[in-house]
């Protein structure tokens, strides 16, 4: 009987049947029978029910938290310094740092599974994850296309964080605030934040006015038919040369407007000038100050900026004749 009883007691414990001290449970067998670690042994000494399961769960949570925190404290700053040494800017570093954080989380969870004694469960999860990959791929086609588009944005660099961009023929415009693998966040000039799927930006024409570091602006001034065109041209060029934010090279130029130069009520003179390191605020400020100064000089020189006029006398006569005929 003494040879049989130890085997019976061992089988009873493996089956999870409650022992006289109230411990042992079937739940531990469900979760791949985690090994009894120091936390489980401590809980067992306190006669805590389900000590194996509770101990393994506490060990897993504590290990995952500690490992992830250490990774964020040491690994991520190390990667950041390594990227700085490579000369990568903020646009290039952000997606790589996000990927690094995900990798730290994945490694932390994997090690925590092993520390908690869930080797069998970890293997099962890996098999389930591999089997579910195909189904997830079909269900997340749009997400995957945005992810691929985010990779293209990262590699092709059509724009960077801080750039002023426009798309859909100027229907949307703003400054890029953040670029992730799925979406790009753009702050409009009305202080609204647009969350744009990356696939939208890679499938449309993107206008980046600040890509080259210098931006050419143009503005058409209308003067009267009786005004001196040469004098008006001189004033337009002089005011461009006086403005501190307008470049001397390339030099400002003035041409007859190619679109409606001789309009019904004015002669169009188009001024073209350049500004350096442009952004939307500088663009509006510089153009507004320049146009204001030209208008003041026109007033001093007696050059008129006419407004559209319509001759309604013919229409009145026709209307009056139709009324008399009636």
Delimit the domains of the chain by residue range. 9-133, 158-207, 214-301
Q: What is the dihedral of CA 204, 205, 210, 216, to 10 degrees?
A: -150
Q: How many angstroms separate the Cα of 163 from the Cα of each of 4, 108, 166, 185, 227? A: 79, 36, 10, 12, 42
At residue 326, the pLDDT reads 52
What is the DSSP code string of 106-126?
Answer: HHHHHHHHHHTT-HHHHHHHH
At residue 65, the pLDDT reads 92
Whether 214-301 and 158-207 are alike in CATH topology: the answer is no
- Low-confidence stretches of the chain (pLDDT < 50) are 1-32, 314-324
At residue 9, the pLDDT reads 41
pTM greater than the 0.95 cutoff = no
Are 194 and 186 spatial neighbours (Cβ–Cβ below 8 Å)? yes
Indicate the fold that domain 158-207 takes in CATH. Answer: SH3 type barrels. (2.30.30)
What CATH number should be reported for the domain whose range is 214-301?
Answer: 3.30.70.100
At residue 290, the pLDDT reads 92
At residue 104, the pLDDT reads 86
What is the DSSP code string of 33-78?
Answer: -----HHHHHHHHTT-TTHHHHHHHHHHHHHHHHHHHHIIIIIHHH
Are 156 and 201 spatial neighbours (Cβ–Cβ below 8 Å)? no
């Amino acid at each position: 009987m003494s040879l049989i009883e130890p085997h019976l007691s061992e089988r009873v414990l493996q089956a999870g049947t409650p022992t006289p001290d109230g411990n042992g449970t079937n739940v531990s067998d469900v979760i791949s029978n985690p090994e009894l670690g120091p936390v489980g042994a401590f809980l067992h000494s306190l006669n805590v029910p389900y000590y194996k399961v509770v101990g393994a769960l506490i060990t897993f949570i504590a290990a995952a938290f500690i490992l992830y925190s250490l990774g964020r404290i040491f690994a991520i700053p190390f990667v950041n310094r390594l990227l700085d040494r490579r000369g990568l800017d903020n646009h290039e570093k952000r997606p790589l740092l996000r990927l690094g954080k995900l990798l730290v989380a994945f490694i932390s969870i994997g090690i925590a599974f092993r520390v908690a004694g869930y080797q069998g469960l970890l293997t099962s999860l890996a098999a389930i994850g591999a089997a579910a990959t195909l189904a997830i791929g079909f269900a997340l086609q749009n997400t995957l296309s945005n992810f691929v588009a985010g990779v293209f944005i990262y590699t092709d660099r059509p724009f960077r964080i801080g750039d002023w961009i426009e798309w859909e023929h100027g229907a949307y415009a703003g400054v890029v605030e953040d670029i992730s693998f799925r979406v790009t966040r753009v702050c409009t000039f009305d202080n609204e934040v647009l969350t744009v799927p990356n696939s939208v930006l890679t499938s449309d024409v993107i206008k980046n006015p600040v890509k080259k570091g210098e931006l050419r602006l143009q503005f058409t001034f209308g003067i009267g038919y009786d005004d001196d065109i040469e004098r008006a041209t001189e004033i337009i060029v002089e005011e461009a040369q006086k403005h501190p934010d307008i470049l001397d090279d390339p030099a400002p130029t003035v041409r007859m407007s190619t679109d409606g130069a001789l309009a019904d009520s004015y002669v169009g003179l188009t001024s073209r000038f350049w500004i350096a390191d442009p952004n939307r605020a500088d663009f509006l400020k510089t153009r507004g100050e320049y146009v204001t100064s030209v208008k003041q000089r026109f007033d001093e020189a007696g050059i008129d900026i006419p407004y559209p006029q319509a001759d309604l006398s013919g229409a009145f006569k026709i209307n009056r004749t139709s009324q008399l005929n009636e």
